[in-house]
Amino acid sequence: MAIVKEFKEFAMRGNVVDLAVAVVIGAAFGKIVSSLVDDIITPAILKPALTAAHLTNLSQLVIPGTAIKYGNFLSQCISFIIVAIALFAIILAINATKKKEEVAPVSAPEPTKEELLLTEIRDLLAKK
């Protein structure tokens, strides 16, 4: 039963739960980005290029005579760029809030009684 208890403590630790939530949200965000690329960006922006190549889908872009589908690669690159930009924007926002918290002025702590006495002693010795 000690193993079960240790596992429960490990699984309920804040970092593990946060990581699990991040993975689930990341997977959902990945699906949203894939849909954005496949259903909006490809038809809207890349439609003229696909029409010129007599294609309807990026996955049909292949190197003739091979099984290399560079269209899928282009789609994944576009998805990566979108995810990277979104994460960059999120990190910028987080860093901006941290900087605002750090800007708050910190007042100097009051000297202790010992420090005040030592300062007086130093001043008296300096006068002699």
Tokens coding 61: 């872009």
pLDDT at 6: 84
Q: Which residue has the tokens 């000690």?
A: 2
Give the chain's radius of gyration (CA, Å). 30
The DSSP call for residue 109 is P
d(CA 53, CA 42) in angstroms, rounded, equals 14
Which pLDDT belongs to residue 41? 77
Q: What is the rounded CA–CA span in Å between residue 128 and residue 124? A: 7
Distance CA 59, CA 62 (A): 8
Q: Which CATH number fits domain 2-104: 1.10.3720.10, 1.10.1200.120, 3.40.190.290, 3.40.190.10?
A: 1.10.1200.120
Where are the chain's structural domains?
A: 2-104
CA pair distance 19, 124, nearest whole angstrom: 61
Kindly report the pTM of this predicted structure: 0.52
Q: What is the pLDDT of residue 35?
A: 84
Q: In order along the chain (128 residues), what is the average pLDDT of each group of 10 residues?
A: 81 74 85 82 76 76 80 82 84 81 71 88 88
Structure tokens at 18: 């946060």
CB 62 within 8 A of CB 68: yes
Residue that is written with structure tokens 């979108």 in the block: 82
**Cα-flanking dihedrals φ and ψ of residue 108, to 5°?**
-70, 140
